[in-house]
Chains A and B, each alone.
Chain A
């Protein structure tokens, strides 16, 4: 394990991602939690970039930290949720939990560190947007079309729900 620019970038991004996840659980206000989630999403997109999956990274930011988070924020703010979660549980339980988490982290670390994935030379890092497009429209046409039908059903469902609400009022 040598210190390279990539390693440093990964460590930084991973730190922010994990920190965002921990804050998401630990913070008490809902809006703060959503913002912590944004940090996690963005740093995961950064990790995708390090793996030279540009398209996935950009779509991750576009959909998760762009659209989905804003919809969540919108919902939270409109309902004006000022509730704060209260802490519960005693100290022994916390210590046991911490031990459990540490044990799990150690087990995962051992498992991953000794895992040997055979590296095959691929061309996936070149022009991968084009490759995704070609794969979607040649190999995976039927799942792709099924997805579009599913989304259409969701859209129609949303419209029907909204319409019903309108008539009732």
Chain B
């Protein structure tokens, strides 16, 4: 259905249809964010032998996040007097808009994809870099030393970890012979790339967590050191935008991991009766679970360890992985 739409002649009706679909998708993502936050709190609760949210919306706390979001929307919107006003307002937009833009190229199933562009993988990495500008801008515009330090850390970390992230993906691109996400998934029909590229997968996953600014790489917003990092001065819905961007990126990164290493919509052998969408959703949920699990399990790294780890450990491993992959591809 989607493919026909993408290849049909443009008209105003089509514009309307695409707009409607995008809005629908935005609400799906918002729904995901709502329940991802809830499940994160619940799982963290269980792992730390607590109960987690259990008051609002039944004993599972199903409406807890909805209540939190309502509170955020009703909260007073404060802008510090000494802040750089236009940049302070622009920063949350700059941080959030790319998070939703990257979702456009991800093929969730064989049928459902918004844009099938040749360089889908690079598109994701390029657009997600714009968020860093939003974060740095927020840190600077707030005119607060903690937020500035958070912004600097975010910039340094995201630039450093983008390098091993891209390098670890070169192996996948070599094997699939394409940057198009559909073709990468199609190349995993027989065997998932996680089995052909285990080293690449590990490097990718670590770098992805660092790109997401999640524990153990959450230095830009380290509570015990920087109060709240780059969004110290933000409150209300502007703060909610940063939070939203973070969780939409979690959605996007988990989807990308599923597509690149876990075979996308392909099912396991003998389980071909499972529809592609369900298969994708299951793998996606496992990735989200592992992300939450890692958050509960690891302590935060120190800033100097963080940089050394990216440049002295991850990057050489990723380069060796590229070399090995190219060698093996030529030999076999």
Contact = CB atoms under 8 A, between A and B. Distances in A.
Binding partners A and B: yes
Interface of A: 5, 29, 31-32, 35, 38, 42, 54-55, 58-59, 61-62, 65-67, 69-71, 73-74, 77-78, 127-129
Interface in B127-180: 127, 129-130, 132-133, 136-137, 139-140, 148, 151-152, 155-156, 158-159, 162, 179
B17 interface: no
Contacts of A62: 122, 125-126, 129
B202 interface: no
B220 to A, nearest CB: 13
B132 A66 contact: yes
Contact of A77 (B117, B118, B148): B148
Interface size class of B (residues with CB under 8 A): 20 to 34
B166 to A, nearest CB: 9
A61 B129 contact: yes
A155 B10 CA distance: 48
Contacts of B10: 5
Contacts of B152: 74, 77-78
B140 A42 contact: no
Given A58-B123, A67-B129, 12 more contacts: A5-B10, A31-B137, A31-B140, A32-B86, A55-B118, A55-B119, A61-B127, A62-B122, A66-B129, A66-B130, A73-B133, A74-B136
Which applies to chain A's interface (DSSP): helix, strand, loop or mixed? helix
A71 B159 CA distance: 9
Contact of A73 (B117, B129, B155): B155
A128 B123 CA distance: 15
Given A31-B84, A31-B140, A78-B152, A65 B119 contact: no
Contact of A35 (B119, B137, B148, B179): B137
Interface in B68-120: 84, 86-87, 90, 117-119
Given A54-B118, A73-B155, A74-B152, A66 B126 contact: yes
26 contacts: A31-B84, A35-B133, A35-B137, A38-B130, A42-B130, A54-B123, A55-B118, A55-B119, A58-B122, A58-B126, A61-B129, A62-B122, A62-B126, A66-B132, A66-B162, A70-B133, A70-B155, A70-B158, A71-B159, A74-B136, A74-B152, A77-B140, A77-B148, A78-B152, A127-B118, A128-B118
B173 to A, nearest CB: 10
A31 B140 CA distance: 9
Nearest to A74: B155
Nearest to A63: B126
A42 B158 CA distance: 19
Contacts of B119: 54-55, 58, 129
B93 to A, nearest CB: 12
B140 A70 contact: no
A52 B162 CA distance: 26
Interface of B: 10, 84, 86-87, 90, 117-119, 122-123, 125-127, 129-130, 132-133, 136-137, 139-140, 148, 151-152, 155-156, 158-159, 162, 179
Contacts of B148: 77
Contacts of A5: 10
B43 to A, nearest CB: 33
B126 A61 contact: yes
Contacts of B137: 31, 35, 73
B97 to A, nearest CB: 11
Nearest to B158: A70
B87 A32 contact: yes
A32 B117 CA distance: 32
Contacts of B129: 61-62, 65-67, 70
Contacts of A29: 84
Given A70-B159, A129-B118, A59 B126 contact: yes
A73 B126 contact: no
B126 A70 contact: no
A76 B97 CA distance: 24
Given A42-B130, A62-B126, A70 B118 contact: no
A47 B162 CA distance: 25
A56 B323 CA distance: 25
